[in-house]
Amino acid sequence: MYDRLENRFQLALRSNEILTKEVNHGRAEYLVGIQAFKKSHENLHKILCRTDPKETTLTLKLRERNRDLVRRVKRQLSSQFATLYGGLGY
């Protein structure tokens, strides 16, 4: 009986290690994506600050792109939160 419990315990430890590695890898990918988004957002803000205050097709496209990026990051944040904490009962 103890052998079975020991085997289950070892399997649980291995599963935990694998899941921890996957979460850390996912977190690293997520952080890289966020950094890229922030850099893109900063560049967009710099461009918008330098341009003419009147609306042009370029500024409209840039504003729409900015809104799209903000939506994508919010979706990624919510899915990342759900992935990390969804099954843990938080």
> Given this model, what pLDDT does residue 90 score?
46
Q: Are 38 and 84 in contact (CB under 8 A)?
A: no
Which tokens sit at 60? 């409209």
pLDDT, residue 12, reads 93
Instruction: Tell me the whole-structure pTM to 2 decimals.
Output: 0.44
Tokens 């600050």 map to which residue? 49
Q: What is the number of structural domains in the chain?
A: 1
60: pLDDT strictly greater than 70: yes
Distance CA 86, CA 20 (A): 15
Domain extent for 25: 2-88
The model's confidence at residue 86, banded by pLDDT at 50, 70 and 90, is low
